Amino acid sequence: MEREPTEFESSVYEALCRVPAGKVVTYKILGDAIGCGSGRAIGNAMRNNPYAPEVPCHRVILSNHKIGGFMGDVIGDKIEKKRDLLEKEGVNFDDEGNLLDANCLLASVPSE
């Protein structure tokens, strides 16, 4: 990224850093944590994340519990990288990209 993150992006990244390894949240849950109702805005912040994987955007999935996108793609090598990162943390998906263990999904982002 050739620019500094916006205030909004920074708030998304700060909230996302509170999602522990081995857990995932949806774009909606992450948005709710910062008072943003736009999943698209959260997705754009994830796509622009200059701090990955330290700011773990791979821990954000779709509301239907599918793996979703990664680094601007929804298929291909980048999704396989997201799947690999999550599997190393103990979060697994079936061949269709569905979350296998609902216990990995947080109902909310942990507080500070």
Each residue's pLDDT tens digit, 66-95: 999 998 899 999 999 999 999 999 999 999
Tell me, yes or no, if 36 is annotated catalytic.
no
In whole angstroms, give the CA distance from residue 93 to residue 90. Answer: 10
Q: pLDDT at position 2, please? A: 76
- Contact between 69 and 39 (Cβ < 8 Å): no
Catalytic one of 17, 36, 57, 104: 57
109: confidence class by pLDDT, cuts 50, 70, 90: very high
**Domains of the chain (ranges plus CATH)?**
7-104 (1.10.10.10)
* Mean per-residue pLDDT, 21-34: 97
Partners of 60 in beta bridges: 25
- Contact between 68 and 61 (Cβ < 8 Å): yes
pTM: predicted TM-score of the whole model, two decimal places: 0.94
- Contact between 36 and 42 (Cβ < 8 Å): yes
In whole angstroms, give the CA distance from residue 70 to residue 80. Answer: 9
pLDDT at 1 over 70: no
